[in-house]
Structure 1
Amino acid sequence: MNAIEVEHLTKRFGTVTAVDDISLSVQNGEIFGFLGPNGAGKTTTIRLITGVLTPDAGSARIRGIDIHRHPINAKMQMGVIPESSTVYGDLSAEQNLHLTGKMYGMPRPLREERVDELLSKMGLLAQRKYPVRTFSKGMKQRVSIACAIMHRPGVLFLDEPTSGLDVQSRRLVVETIHQMNEEGSTVFLTTHNIEEANTLCRTVCIINRGKIVAQDSPERLRRMFEATQSVEVSFSRGVRKDFFQAEGIIRAEPCGDKWRVYTDNPDRVVKYLVSRADRESLGITSLAITGPSLEETFIQLTGCT
C-alpha cells in the first residue's frame, strides 16, 4: 500500500480547469517533490489531496483511506503545513501546540512532553508564552511546522514551506523534513524551488497548467533531455546574439558574463566557436560542455523560465 494514491483528480473553477485528470502515487517513506510554475495547480492539488477542497472527479487516498469518504480517519494520518500560517495569533506557541495535540486525542502527559521537545527543536523555548501574532514570519512558520508534526503523522504535506523565510528558519524547515522522513514519515513537498527539490526529493513530479507532464527521479528526468546539452563560453569582449547563428545551435542565452549555447552536437559547436573567435581576433576566456540540469529540464517541460 502506498502512502498516497491519487486517481483522475479533477477540479474546475468556473471555466478554468485548475487540476486536470491527474493521477500519482507516493511510496511509503519517500520525500516526494511536486514542482510547477506559479499557477500550475500545485496548491489546488494539495488542497484536494488533504480534503480542503472537494474534487469534481477522481479520488485521493491517504494510507489507503479515501480523504473525501472518510475525512476524519484520513486526516488523523497526516500533518499539513500550508503556504500561509494557520496558527492562532492570540494564543501562545505553547497553547497552539497543546490545542493541536488535543484535537488529535493526545493525553496531557504525552502532549506536555511533545510540546517541550518541539519548542526546543524549533528554537522557540524562550518565546513559548508569547502570543504568536508578535512573531516574525519565520517564527510563525516554525510554530506551524511544530503543530503539523505534533502527533507524529505518517504523511506530512508541505506547501511551499521555505517561501520567504530567513536563513535560520529555512534551515530548520529542511532539517525537520529530513528528521521526520528518517523517523518514517512520508513527505509530500510542493515547491517552485528547483534546487530544493533536487536536494531533498527522491521522486519529482512536475505539473503545468493543471496536468502532470513528468514524474521520475531528478536524475532520470535530467536524462530525458540529455540529448540536448549546452556549451558555456565567455569571451575577452562582448558579442551579440547573432554571433551564435550556426548549424547545430538550438539557441543561445546570456548567463552572467557567459553565454549558454544549447545544442545536440556540442563538438560541432565548439569547433564553430573556436573558429569564429579566431577569425574575429576574439579571445575565449572559458569554455565548457555541460549536461542538462534539473532546472533546464523543468524549463523544457513547462516552457517557463
Structure 2
Amino acid sequence: MNDAAPQPVLDCAHLVRRFGDRTAVDDVSLRIAPGETYGLLGPNGAGKTTAIRMVCGLLRPDAGTVRVAGLPVSTAAGPAKRLIGFVPQEVALYPDLSVRENLRFFGRLYRLPRRRLEARVAEVLDLIGLTARARDRVDSLSGGMRRRLNIGAGLVHAPTLLVLDEPTVGVDPQSRHAILESVTRFGEQGMAVLYTTHYMEEAERLCDRVGIIDRGRLIAEGTPRELVSLVAERDRVRLTAVGDLDAFARACRRFTRVEGAARGGDRDDVVEVVVKDARSLLPELLDLAHRQGVHVRSVEIDEPDLETVFLHLTGTALRE
C-alpha cells in the first residue's frame, strides 16, 4: 500500500522577485494539495500580488520555481498554464457581449472543442448562478453578477488550480454569499484554490490552510487553528449570573485548564474566566454553577481569531 502524500497541485519553491533595490518577494515557498483552499493574506504592499503573478506565469521570478501538477510554469506559453484559472481583482470581461458569449470567448482561448465548450459553458453558468441571465449583455448586470461571471471566465476551461485575487471586493451580500458557496464547492470537487482576501472572516470560513506574507516573506503558515495557537492567547468566558459569584470564581480556579477567574471589575453580576479551549470546558463550568447554586443568565466567549494572529505578526490590520 502506498502511503505517500499526493503530488501537490501547486509547488512554489524559494521564489524571489526584486524591483530595483526593493525585494518584493523574498524566498517564498508554499504548496497546495488537490481539493485544498489556501489563503494568502498580507498587508497592502506585502508581496501578494507579485507572488500571484509569478504563480500564474505573468511575471518571471529572479530565483525559485513554480510547478503546477508537476509541470514548470514560465512566462512563455506552455502546458502548465492551461491548468491555471486566474481571476483578477479587476473585472476582465467584454461589456458589449452577453454572459454566454463571454464564456465562449474565454473557452475558445483554451481551444476547447465546440461540443465540450458548449457543455462546459452550461456547467459554469449553473455553477455561478447566471443561467437565467445567459443572453444578457454584461453591461446590464449588477456589480455582483459581473464578479461571478469573472470567476466563471476563469473556470470555463476546467483548471486544476484556480487563483482568486480578492473576488468579493465591492459586491453585494447576496453575490458575496454565492461566491463563497461556489469556492467551497470547488474544493469539494478536488480543485486546488489559491485565495487572497481583505476579509478575515472569508479566510476563516473557506481556507484549509493560511499563509501570512509580510515584507515579501512568508512569516507564518498553517490551519487557522494552528495559527491562532501561535499567539498563545486564551479564551475569555464572560458569565452573567446571580448568586455567590466570589465563591463560584474560586471554584472555577480549581479547574486545571482555568488560568484565572474573578468577578467582573465593572459589573457585580459577571464572572470572567480565562481558559484554554473554552468551548470544550463550558459544559463543566455551567454544571459547576448549577451545583454552586448560581443561576447563569448569559454566556459570552471571546476567542482569539485570525485577525488577532494577523495583528500580532504584522503589526497592522488586514485592511490597512
Question: Which residue in 2 is equivalent to 1:256?
Answer: none
Question: Which residue in 2 is equivalent to 1:255?
Answer: none
How far off is 1:125 after superposition? 3.0
Question: Which residue in 1 is equivalent to 2:100?
Answer: 94
TM-score by length of 2: 0.76
**Unaligned ranges ≥5, structure 1:** 236-264
Question: Which residue in 1 is equivalent to 2:161?
Answer: 155
Equivalents in 2 of 1:205, 1:178: separation in Å?
Answer: 18
1:194–1:295 CA contact under 8 A, matched in 2: yes
Question: Which residue in 1 is equivalent to 2:312?
Answer: 300
Q: Which secondary structure state, in structure 1, belongs to the residue aligned with residue 18 of structure 2?
A: strand
1:234–1:284 CA contact under 8 A, matched in 2: no
Paired letter, 2:234? Q
1:36–1:208 CA contact under 8 A, matched in 2: yes
Paired letter, 1:12? R
Question: Which residue in 1 is equivalent to 2:267?
Answer: 283
Question: Which residue in 2 is equivalent to 1:117?
Answer: 123
Instruction: Give the one of 230, 234, 238 matched to 1:229.
Output: 234
1:232–1:288 CA contact under 8 A, matched in 2: yes
Question: Which residue in 2 is equivalent to 1:197?
Answer: 203
Q: Which secondary structure state, in structure 2, belongs to the residue aligned with residue 115 of structure 1?
A: helix
1:5–1:60 CA contact under 8 A, matched in 2: yes
How far off is 1:230 after superposition? 5.8
Instruction: Give the one of 209, 213, 217 matched to 1:211.
Output: 217
The 4+ residue runs of structure 1 with deviation greater than 4 A are 230-235
Q: Label 1:34 to 1:135 Cα distance change in 2 as closer, same or farther (>3 A).
A: same
The Cα offsets for residues 156-208 of structure 1, whole Å up to 9 and x where unpaired, read as: 11111112211121122112212222221111111232221111111111111
Paired letter, 1:229? R
- For the pair 1:188 / 2:172, whether they are aligned, the reply is no
1:9–1:21 CA contact under 8 A, matched in 2: yes
Q: Which secondary structure state, in structure 2, belongs to the residue aligned with residue 76 of structure 1?
A: helix
RMSD between aligned residues: 2.3
Paired letter, 1:140? R
Equivalents in 2 of 1:20, 1:284: separation in Å?
Answer: 53
**Unaligned ranges ≥5, structure 2:** 1-6, 241-257, 275-301
1:6–1:60 CA contact under 8 A, matched in 2: yes
- For the pair 1:83 / 2:69, whether they are aligned, the reply is no
How far off is 1:232 after superposition? 7.2
Q: Label 1:166 to 1:285 Cα distance change in 2 as closer, same or farther (>3 A).
A: farther
The size of the alignment, in residue pairs, is 266
Q: Label 1:125 to 1:28 Cα distance change in 2 as closer, same or farther (>3 A).
A: closer
The share of aligned pairs that are identical, in percent, is 39
- For the pair 1:26 / 2:58, whether they are aligned, the reply is no
Question: Which residue in 1 is equivalent to 2:145?
Answer: 139
1:230–1:266 CA contact under 8 A, matched in 2: no
TM-score by length of 1: 0.79
Paired letter, 2:267? G
